Amino acid sequence: MPRLEEDDETLRRLEKLGNQVVEMIQEGENPYIERPVRSRSNVEFDSEKGLLDLGDSKSKRYFMNIGHARKFMQTMLVASKCKELIEEERTASIRELYYQLKHTIPGLDENTLEDQDESNPVIVDLETALDSLREHLHLIAEPKGRLFGPITIEDEGDEINCLKLGKSGLGVPSMVDDYKFVEHSADYVLVVETSAMAARLVEEDFHKKENAIIVSAGGQPSRGVRRLTNILHKRLDLPVYVFTDGDPYGYYIYSVLTAGSMNLAFESNRLATPEANLIGMTMSDIEEYGLENVTEKLKGKHPDESGGPTKDYKRAMDMMDYEWFQHEEWQEELQTMMERGERVEQQALATNNLQFVAETYLPEKIEKGEHLP
Amino acid sequence: MPRLEEDDETLRRLEKLGNQVVEMIQEGENPYIERPVRSRSNVEFDSEKGLLDLGDSKSKRYFMNIGHARKFMQTMLVASKCKELIEEERTASIRELYYQLKHTIPGLDENTLEDQDESNPVIVDLETALDSLREHLHLIAEPKGRLFGPITIEDEGDEINCLKLGKSGLGVPSMVDDYKFVEHSADYVLVVETSAMAARLVEEDFHKKENAIIVSAGGQPSRGVRRLTNILHKRLDLPVYVFTDGDPYGYYIYSVLTAGSMNLAFESNRLATPEANLIGMTMSDIEEYGLENVTEKLKGKHPDESGGPTKDYKRAMDMMDYEWFQHEEWQEELQTMMERGERVEQQALATNNLQFVAETYLPEKIEKGEHLP
């Protein structure tokens, strides 16, 4: 892959980490690596930025500590391999990284790594220690998602006009940082939860008629889709609408896209888009668009039932407590959902006719500015 | 979407089905729909064609039968809606179809459909009754998979040069029957189990250097990937190599691609590619390429253990009985796997170096013609 803008900076940080350890050894100190604490206690919502972030707690991992030594060694191995990847202008999947580093330590009956459950957390340690994104370390995740719409992207030297990809669309790779947005005539970005709904919109030429970049997530958005949404918004200053099922799972997808996730709080800044709005489905859509006969029941137990709340109700209750859902509209939305005990899917809009979502529902909502914050 | 070549034929079959029912009613007969039995007892391996197929058993569904009436009504509804879709040149997801057909029957306190578990089997009934593919009824499934390589595809009027799509690639849609292969310079098709391995090969420019069309399945291949493999082979007369993990799950993927699946036996002819060969990973790769330290243990219990075989061992044993795995090489392969109790992943090839799979492993195997039948 081509060099990323961030490559020099990432190399500099990796070298600094290594040099610090060397210095400590030369000065006869017990070498350590410092990184932010990632437990929930150190995850905060930054209300100014509108996203989750790590607090100031740090912890040190020492080489000369029997409980730390193995992880210290693994962190050095991963750091060294990532440096090599950047220098070679290659990427590796986290599975490949594991296989690349797994070997028996000479003179010892011990492996560097026993399984990938050992290397994965070390990668996260390194990301946080360096305040760097996994992709900037040239590590890639499973790709998922597709893109359609009036934008030309340069990827690996190829200029791709995403309006000329039929109903197939562009596969969103794991790594999008190196994408160059050559030109576009889009009015906004629409992130769609289900692939089938994205296919519907493409069949109706929604992307062409409405000048919309459609990003199809295919369920919970991949890192690639989250980062792509972030850079489409930041670099092109385009509004972002998120279109999910009207249920706790769909709203959680929106929550992750807008504010980030607890587990990856240190990456929200690069993976989340706080300015994104939810365009639908909402509980008020049910009456508004005559969907009373095509709702589904929420799963699990209502908080008033014994043993409740569970499943959908539990997730809805949890979300009501999120700081970024403290808007009146969101509280009402979640409250109504639990009272009705109902969910409504994107594809339920097909009950009227197939083109309804593309010709009426979305254009009306976007024109009227009807969306949740 | 544009009209399919098969559209006229599918419409003719739908009309014939409808006319037969009308005639039976006019003649005072109890109307019925006849379709092949789909239970395992009627699934056969056609050794000449090299794929699974349905046998000759048929069954009739009568309108005037209290056990059949509801399903008869649903079959008519689905048939009528599919006719409408074809005429409108639209497709629908099976979820949309469900929402389109769900309504309360006038004068009765009864819904046409209660949930999608009712409409899905009816779709299969219709496919078999008409000897038609779901996609020919304009019904689409969840898309998954990507394509890279030296081929230009016309999709919805757009000519897409798949060698010019960077590392992103073309999203494989659910419906590929309408793809036109404009030109190509490929020597073969390589279907790859994991997305990460496909990303590796693309990063190494394997598709360019080896003139290979890479189809990335992303796990169990979608209907789109299966059909695409089938038409790439049939229309372009290209050899197909399948590259999976060396484990029962990977070999099952190969099995489905080559011979079809029990559940969809009636569609093997259109979804399977009996001439496809497995290029790897194989048990002999472990010694051949020095992978002894990067194998994993099979899951479950060996047949010799009490309560065995389970999980991986069970699947391997089942496959040993498949008629299309009665080649000596396959029997040996599965036998060796169970004896070793080991599996080996595609990505384990990274233990040497990242480019090894692209520069050495695959080219050597293809040149030597080393593959399983």
The pTM of the full predicted model, rounded to 2 decimals, is 0.95
pLDDT of A1 above 80 = no
Active-site residue, from A32, A98, A99, A254: A99
Question: Do B128 and B164 lie in a common domain?
Answer: no
pLDDT at site B263: 86
- B93/A199 Cβ within 8 A: yes
pLDDT at A2 over 90: no
Instruction: Confirm whether A152 is domain-assigned.
Output: yes
Residue B23: Cβ within 10 Å count: 11
Each residue's pLDDT tens digit, B121-175 = 999 999 999 999 999 999 998 899 999 999 999 999 999 999 999 999 999 999 9
Residue A373 lies in a domain: no
For residues B178-183, average pLDDT:
97
Give me the CATH number covering residue B253.
3.40.1360.10
Task: Annotate chain B with three-state secondary structure.
Answer: CCCCCCHHHHHHHHHHHHHHHHHHHHCCCCCEEEEECCCHHHEEEECCCCEEEECCCEEEEECCCCCCHHHHHHHHHHHHHHHHHHHHCCCEEHHHHHHHHCCECCCCCCECCCCHHHHHHHHHHHHHHHCCCHHHHCEECCCCCEEECCEEEEECCEEEECCCCCCCCEECCCCCCCCEEEEECCCEEEEECCHHHHHHHHHCCHHHHCCEEEEECCCCCCHHHHHHHHHHHHHHCCCEEEECCECHHHHHHHHHHHHCCCCCHHHHHHHCCCCCEEEECCHHHHHHCCCHHHCEECCCCCCCCCCCCCHHHHHHHHHHHCHHHCCHHHHHHHHHHHHHCEEECHHHHHHCCCCHHHHHHHHHHHHHCCCEC
Q: Round the average pLDDT of chain A to a whole number and report it.
A: 95
Tell me, what DSSP letter sits at residue A172?
Answer: P
Angle at A108 between CA A103 and CA A110, to 5 degrees: 50
Domain stop point among B108, B140, B172? B140
Please tell me whether residues B136 and B172 are part of one structural domain. no
Are B165 and B110 in the same domain? Answer: no
Q: Is A201 helix (H, G, I), strand (E, B) or coil?
A: helix
Q: Domain for residue A2, yes or no?
A: no
The mean pLDDT of B198-207, rounded to a whole number, is: 97
Query: By residue range, what is the domain housing residue B60?
Result: 7-140
State whether B196 and A166 contact (CB < 8 Å): no
A180 and A301, same domain (yes or no) = yes
Q: Counting Cβ atoms within 10 Å, is residue B102 exposed (0-12), middle (13-18) or buried (19+)?
A: buried
Contact B114, B162 (CB under 8 A): no
End of a domain among B86, B111, B140? B140
**Which pLDDT tens digit goes with each residue over B32-79?**
999 999 988 999 999 999 999 999 999 999 999 999 999 999 999 999
Which residue of chain B has the CA closest to A351? Answer: B100
Q: Do B333 and B243 share a domain, yes or no?
A: yes
In a domain, B1, yes or no: no
Instruction: Report yes or no on B321 lying in a domain.
Output: yes
Q: Give me the numbers of helices (H) and strands (E) for chain A, helices first please.
A: 14, 17
With CB atoms and an 8 Å threshold, state whether A196 touches B168: no
- Distance (Å) from the alpha carbon of A190 to chain B's nearest alpha carbon: 18
Distance from CA of A55 to the nearest CA of B (A): 33
DSSP label of A115: S
CA distance to partner chain A, nearest, from residue B72 (Å): 22
Q: Do B92 and A175 touch (CB under 8 A)?
A: no
Asked if B131 and B163 sit in the same domain, the reply is no
Based on the domain organization, do B86 and B173 belong to the same domain?
Answer: no
Assess whether A262 and A363 both reside in one domain: yes
ipTM comes to 0.94
* Cβ within 8 Å, pair B166-A156: yes
Q: Are residues B203 and B160 in the same domain?
A: yes
Give the span between the Cα atoms of B133 and B90, in whole angstroms. Answer: 16
- State how far residue A125 is from chain B, nearest Cα, in angstroms: 22
Question: In this structure, are B52 and B176 located in the same domain?
Answer: no
Q: What is the model's pLDDT at position B1?
A: 67
The answer on B168 and B125 residing in a single domain is no
Residue pLDDT, tens place only, A152-207: 999 999 999 999 999 999 999 999 999 999 999 999 999 999 999 999 999 999 99
Number of domains in chain A: 2
- pLDDT computed for residue A318 by the predictor: 95
Decide which of B140, B175, B206 is a domain's last residue: B140
CATH number at residue B101: 1.10.10.10
Q: Is the pLDDT of residue A309 over 80?
A: yes
Query: What pLDDT digit, counting tens, does each position of B98-121 carry?
Result: 999 999 888 988 999 999 999 999
Q: How far apart are CA A282 and CA A285, in angstroms?
A: 5
pLDDT higher than threshold 80 for residue A277: yes
Q: Which residues in A lie closer than 8 A to residue B102 (C-beta atoms)?
A: 293-294, 351
CB contact under 8 A, B170 and A167: no
B12-26 pLDDT per residue, tens: 999 999 999 999 999
Which residue among B142, B196, B203 sits closest to A195, beta carbon to beta carbon? B142
B373 within some domain: no
pLDDT average, residue stretch A318-336: 96
- Of A95, A153, A348, which is closest to B196 when you measure between CB atoms? A95
Question: A219-263 pLDDT, tens per residue?
Answer: 999 999 999 999 999 999 999 999 999 999 999 999 999 999 988
Residue A295 pLDDT level (bands cut at 50, 70, 90): very high
Say what the pLDDT of residue B98 is: 96
Same domain as B168, residue B106: no
Of A92, A156, A159, the CB nearest to B167: A156
Task: Give which of A77, A96, A112, A294 to mutate to test B binding, by max B Cβ within 10 Å.
Answer: A96
